Amino acid sequence: MKKFSSIFRIIFRLFRFTWAFINGTRRVITNLVLLIIIAAIIAAITHPGVTVPDGGVALLVRPAGALVEQVTVDPFLNVLSDEQPKETSLPDLLEAIHAARDDARIKLLVLETDNLGAGGLAKFGELRTAIDNFKASGKPVLARGEHFSQSQYYLASVADEVHLAPDGFVLLQGLARFNTYFRGALDKLGIKVHLFRAGEYKSFGEPFTRNDMSAEDREASRELLDELWGRIRDDISASRKLTPAQFDHYVLDYLEMLKSAKGDLAAVAQTAGLIDQFSTRDQWQTRIKEQLGDKSAEADFRHIGVNDYLAAIRGERADQPDQIAVLVAQGDIVDGEQSPGSVGANSFVRLIREARENKQVKALVVRIDSPGGSAWASEIIRRELELTRQAGKPVIASMSSLAASGGYWIATGTDEIFAEPATLTGSIGVFGMFPDFSKPLGSLGLSVDGVATAPHAAALDPRRPLDPAVGEALQLNVEHSYRRFLEIVAGARKMEIDAVDKIARGQVWSGQKAHSLGLVDHTGGLDAALTAAARHAKLKEKNYTVIWPTQSVPPMRQLLQQLFSVMTTDKNLAATPVPANDFVRHLTADIKSLEFWNDPRHIYTHCLCEGGKF
């Protein structure tokens, strides 16, 4: 009887397990089908065969969140936390504005910047140029903000008319670069960070070894910021028909102007010539309707948004058999497989190979927006680009806001390099760091002891003091990697190694300066790079399709991402930074970046230039 009972329990457990498995599978399949149905319904509602209305409409450009090359925000985080900002694709904006320029159905461009965040001066400059080209077609551009941050106003100032809310303001405070230095805190904790570097301007490791900015870093930062600020001043002054002195007066003597205006921030901006008129939201709608000749009773003006416009014009285009592939290298360069938002050597190389082996793809454009990272990973990617060129396919580099250190290393594997005048590039230098936790462990009463078969078997154990001989070996390897970097640049740019060394040593340059130094072939944006790629591949204008290969995502996750992305599209996220939140975000980003330090030799070529943020 007892034996029968045991057998019965085993059968019951097996049946229960089988039923649970079947029931779980049923739920997964049911949920998947439900999600597909919901996604299809949402897609039908949001894009029901989008067309551009006849009779003349405005292209409404209303970017939200950070301006990026490739949208990387995890939609799940968007749902769970309002702290996660949205992102707007710069290539999408450029494509829409370029197409609208010659589209007779689009009568004007309306720019609303209230939710636009940071993105790098070069990105804003490229978008500004696209809007300026739209104006050159004779179509007007109207811009409005409830208030303007510095980056928002830089973009809006290119418009024919700039409107401001009656209680708004225009914030122009200049550029600054301040780092947090950890040496004092590390000393109190007893942690020692050993820094090995080649290039006196390679400042990435200095926050861990100093309490202040080095003289070299201060000199280089001042020179770079002065150049970039001069570009901002000149661009705004030209658009608003101001003299540089009038612009400087607003920035430097703001308090006196505010006193004269009895604290009216909006009046100060108008008196300075930065805005054309004040308008409430309803007055703004009325003004645009006047421009469109729209006499309807509808409160809103006739318009089409960027996403709908792109869906419409892409549907109207006949795909060409020839293609140019744009591969986006955005974020830190690291070893292995990585998700969008960082450049994994293995995953990015796979994209390059797939494009190289695709017979329809006639040329590649590598769009770089990266401060660098692992020297090892950078070289793997550079070599794959070189192999693509050897296979007969042209490769062009297009630098966005930032293509420095490892980002520049990658660019040397291409046929031509394009950079925006305000791109941050160069930073040709190498460093390595090693932390020593032996002292704080000792103060806690912890000791480390053991045996090894060779003197350096446990050389890179952070629990033990760094052996001076190992430190010397690390410095030698850093210097070797630096020479290797110089050789690669010299070969790619057809320069002498000594000549490269003089403009290297970790120095960060603007795209304009890099062009004059021979590190960049041309100043220009993505459109110029695509034109060059077509020329190298002997493709006729408009006889090719531009594709944007991305890393493959499992179908289920892709569906969920699209679903949640649609659900969170209309979140109203303020673009004006709150100081406390900004500090937390920066600190969180710094901590998160530690996971990318995976170079197998612990040798890095990374730029401490914060993505060229603006």
Q: How far apart are CA 203 and CA 218, in angstroms?
A: 10
**Nearest CA-CA partner of 59 in 89, 103, 100, 95:** 100
Please say whether the beta carbons of 347 and 306 come within 8 A. no
Cα distances (angstroms) measured from residue 441 to each of 122, 332, 392, 446: 46, 32, 57, 5
CA distances from 6 to 13, 19, 562 (A): 11, 20, 50
- What's the rounded Cα separation, in Å, for the pair 222 and 230? 12
Catalytic status, residue 202: yes
Q: Which residue among the candidates 405, 438, 481, 510 is catalytic per the annotation?
A: 405
Q: Which DSSP string corresponds to 336-397?
A: S---TTSEEHHHHHHHHHHHHH-TTEEEEEEEEEE-EEEHHHHHHHHHHHHHHHHTT--EEE
Active site residue 362: no
Q: Supply φ then ψ for residue 270, to 5 degrees.
A: -70, -40
Would you say 268 and 256 are in contact if contact means Cβ atoms under 8 Å apart? Answer: no
Token code pair at residue 603? 């040798």
- Both tokens assigned to 335: 């070893």
Question: For residues 537 and 324, is the Cβ–Cβ distance under 8 A?
Answer: yes
Residue 95 CB-half CA count within 13 A: 21
- In whole angstroms, give the CA distance from residue 411 to residue 382: 7
| Phi (first) and psi of residue 466, to 5 degrees | -75, 125
- Report which of 142, 152, 204, 196 is spatially closest to residue 173, judged by C-alpha positions: 152
Catalytic residue among 86, 202, 362, 513: 202
Positions annotated as catalytic residues are: 202, 405
